[in-house]
């Protein structure tokens, strides 16, 4: 088995499960109210009290593709952090 196939088999089930649960995780965070903050492209830089999202989420993160924000209603968050993230978005999708 090649390394890339092994990587896909071990990581994709988790990513798929995160994709399925992401809408409910986002809704739960928004329903809590108060100051709502989004850490977009969190990777290993998770911030306490923020909704930490990534396209390849780890522990404590929620799946969210920054090029498809349909799961997030407009005007939801009071603050958005996108540190060292935008350079990873293809230029046509970033429009």
Kindly report the backbone phi and psi dihedral angles of residue 37, in degrees, each rounded to the nearest multiple of 5, phi listed first.
Answer: -130, 135
Record the pTM.
0.76
Residue that the structure tokens 């850490």 belong to:
39
- 91-94: long-range contacts at Cβ-Cβ below 8 A with a sequence spacing of 24 or more? 93/67, 94/67
More confident residue, 19 or 28: 28
Q: 25-51: per-residue pLDDT in tens? A: 899 999 999 999 999 999 888 999 999
CA-based nearest residue to 94, from 26, 85, 80:
85
Pairwise CA distance, residues 84 & 40, whole Å: 10
Pairwise CA distance, residues 18 & 11, whole Å: 11
């Amino acid at each position: 088995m090649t390394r890339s196939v092994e990587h896909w088999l071990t990581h994709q089930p988790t990513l798929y499960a995160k994709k399925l649960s992401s809408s409910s995780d986002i809704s739960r965070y928004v329903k809590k109210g108060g100051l709502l903050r989004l850490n977009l492209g969190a990777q290993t830089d998770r911030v306490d009290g923020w909704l930490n999202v990534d396209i390849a989420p780890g522990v404590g993160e929620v799946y969210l593709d920054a090029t498809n924000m349909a799961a997030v209603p407009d005007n939801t968050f009071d603050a958005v952090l996108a540190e060292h993230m935008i350079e990873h978005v293809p230029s046509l999708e970033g429009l």
